[in-house]
A and B are shown apart, each in its own frame.
Chain A
Amino acid sequence: MNFGYLLVVSYHPDIDYLKMAYALALSIKNTQKPGFDKIALIIDDKSCLEKIKSPWVFDHVIEWNKETFWDGRSWMDKLSPWDATVCLDVDMLFLRDHSHWIEYFLENCDLYVANRAFTYRGEKITSDHYRRCFTKNKLPNLYSMFTFFKKSSSMAQDFFALGRHIIKNPKEFSNLYLAENKPKIVGTDEAFALSAKILDIQDEISYDLEFPKLVHMKGGVQNWPWPAENFTNHVGFYLNKQGKLKIGNYQQYDAIHYVEKDLITDEIINILEELAWKLR
């Protein structure tokens, strides 16, 4: 069974999703063991790859333009070229080897969606600042930023099919199932959580595990005693030339979901590229 990561991007006038996907792909190549470092990119315009220096970090590039932005991720089961896949949000970075997570998922799961996240200080996020819809409507606390699935799994196929249906019909599903707190946008997180709830599979696809450990850098959930939107207004983001990351004065070891779309500078790309070139 072959395994790989799946990243989905599309053109946006103000946000360079490809640059973020490229940084994530470089960080995966720099940290994951051979066999656990394959990456497929779904992109709406392949010609955009000409602007990056090392397109070889993407083992598969698939041109697909049926959906835009996050909606595309709900098609991950149809688009992935791998037998087993982890689909990631592109605004993430890997900092150490997580292949042992994947070995567990390959052995034990057909479908697993992350269900917890941590602050940069390692505290479990309990605030529902951005997730009132989840708590008010008693949705399972799923984070689609890390979704493992096997293509052959019928449960996964049903789960994603319903997720797509929810994203296509947000008003109907909001009125029926999210009446206690209707989200402005039914995104992938809401759609996946609702899909799991309707299919009653949340305990099968999101039970307690020590991993995946994901650091979520939305400002409002960092347990700071002041309101915050952008974390970079409050703490620094320091990536050194060895690819080690500190946020403030906290060394980071787990996968980072940095959220802020302009965080990846050309300098950060250069650091990650040089590390990847040395390993190659």
Chain B
Amino acid sequence: MEAALIDFNEWLKSMPMHEITYYAVFDPASGEIIGIYPNHSCPDTNSKISIDEDVALSIMEGRTFLNSYVVDINSGNLEIVETKSLIKIDDVLHRVVDQRWADIVDFDIMLTADLHSNKLTIELSEKFYQSRKILWDGSTEMLFLITDYNDPNGLYDTVAVTIDQLFRSKFLNYSVDFPREFSIYTRRVFKNYILKNENS
């Protein structure tokens, strides 16, 4: 029995088309884009974000530059930025401002210092649990330097936390030997840090 030959155009129409989605793989510390990939060849990493086809093709075809984009870690969006070559001192040694003096309403990381019990609590903002847009590289380490008041030259203690640890627990408590007057400095992995001094 001879099999009926299907019309090629009909066959093509009936073929299920796999939709291609594009991902930007980024550096979780800086938000810089490392590469653009279609879903089927995307590396197995947590630090990726889905992006529009137009943007992906524009970068792949060389119409726009990869380094013209950065992932805004706070909003979870891909944003066009000016090429940034300057690393500010505040990016690598950011003083966490006491909430009395801060005009930040939407913190990313809240540090609560209790000098009586020598306890430092580190809290990740609720908003990061609600947004699933960004998958973190959880091994990214945040260092908190407990220093003289407004002087990172005098270091008393250091607390190291990974994003994974914070994400799993929401609150983390550490025993810290606070001086009477202190400040906390950190590398600016997140944008908005705030310090709450329970005893001030």
Question: Given A267-B97, A267-B98 in contact, is the A246-B89 Cβ separation under 8 Å?
Answer: no
**A152-211 interface (Cβ within 8 A of B):** none
Closest Cβ neighbor of A226 among chain B residues:
B86
A53 within 8 A of B: no
Which chain B residues lie closer than 8 Å to A241 at the CB level?
149-150, 181
Expressed in whole angstroms, the Cα–Cα distance for A188 and B138 within the complex equals: 55
- Say yes or no: A265 contacts B101, CB within 8 Å: yes
A65 within 8 A of B: no
Map CB proximity to A onto B83-120 as digits: 1 under 8 Å, 0 otherwise. Answer: 00010111001010110110000000000000000000
Map CB proximity to A onto B61-101 as digits: 1 under 8 Å, 0 otherwise. Answer: 00000000000000000000000001011100101011011
A238 within 8 A of B: yes
- Say yes or no: A266 contacts B93, CB within 8 Å: no
- Say yes or no: A240 contacts B148, CB within 8 Å: yes
- Say yes or no: A240 contacts B151, CB within 8 Å: yes
**B11-52 interface (Cβ within 8 A of A):** none
B153 within 8 A of A: yes
Closest Cβ neighbor of B93 among chain A residues:
A236
- Say yes or no: B89 contacts A232, CB within 8 Å: yes
Which chain B residues lie closer than 8 Å to A49 at the CB level?
none
The total of chain B residues at the interface (CB under 8 A) is: 17
Which chain A residues lie closer than 8 Å to B90 at the CB level?
232-233
Number of A-B contacts (CB under 8 A): 37
**A236-280 interface (Cβ within 8 A of B):** 236, 238-241, 246, 249, 265-267, 270
Which chain B residues lie closer than 8 Å to A239 at the CB level?
150
Closest Cβ neighbor of B100 among chain A residues:
A267
- Say yes or no: A233 contacts B101, CB within 8 Å: no
Rounded to whole Å, the gap between the CB of A275 and the closest CB of chain B is 13
Which chain A residues lie closer than 8 Å to B98 at the CB level?
267
Expressed in whole angstroms, the Cα–Cα distance for A232 and B93 within the complex equals: 12
A15 within 8 A of B: no
Question: Given A238-B150, A240-B151 in contact, is the A267-B101 Cβ separation under 8 Å?
Answer: yes
Closest Cβ neighbor of B147 among chain A residues:
A238
- Say yes or no: A266 contacts B101, CB within 8 Å: yes
A131 within 8 A of B: no
A121 within 8 A of B: no
- Say yes or no: A236 contacts B97, CB within 8 Å: no
A235 within 8 A of B: yes
Question: Given A265-B101, A267-B97, A267-B98 in contact, is the A240-B149 Cβ separation under 8 Å?
Answer: yes
Which chain B residues lie closer than 8 Å to A236 at the CB level?
89, 93, 95, 152
A46 within 8 A of B: no
Map CB proximity to A onto B148-160 as digits: 1 under 8 Å, 0 otherwise. Answer: 1111110000000
Which chain B residues lie closer than 8 Å to A249 at the CB level?
153
**B113-166 interface (Cβ within 8 A of A):** 148-153
Map CB proximity to B onto A215-244 as digits: 1 under 8 Å, 0 otherwise. Answer: 000000000000000001111101111000
Question: Given A240-B150, A241-B149, A241-B181 in contact, is the A234-B101 Cβ separation under 8 Å?
Answer: no
Rounded to whole Å, the gap between the CB of B82 and the closest CB of chain A is 15
Closest Cβ neighbor of A228 among chain B residues:
B86
- Say yes or no: B89 contacts A238, CB within 8 Å: no
Rounded to whole Å, the gap between the CB of B59 and the closest CB of chain A is 29
- Say yes or no: A246 contacts B101, CB within 8 Å: no
Which chain B residues lie closer than 8 Å to A266 at the CB level?
101
Which chain A residues lie closer than 8 Å to B89 at the CB level?
232-236
Instruction: Name the residue in B88, B97, B153, B181 with the highest tally of chain A Cβ atoms < 10 Å from its Cβ.
Output: B153
Rounded to whole Å, the gap between the CB of A246 and the closest CB of chain B is 6
Map CB proximity to B onto A74-89 as digits: 1 under 8 Å, 0 otherwise. Answer: 0000000000000000
In the complex, besides A234-B88, A241-B150, 17 extra interface pairs with C-beta distance below 8 angstroms are A232-B88, A232-B90, A233-B86, A233-B89, A236-B89, A236-B152, A238-B151, A240-B150, A240-B151, A241-B149, A246-B153, A249-B153, A265-B101, A266-B101, A267-B98, A267-B100, A270-B101
Which residues of B does A touch, CB under 8 Å? 86, 88-90, 93, 95, 97-98, 100-101, 148-153, 181
Considering the complex of A and B, which 5 residue pairs feature the smallest CB-CB distances, nearest first?
A267-B101, A233-B88, A238-B151, A238-B150, A249-B153
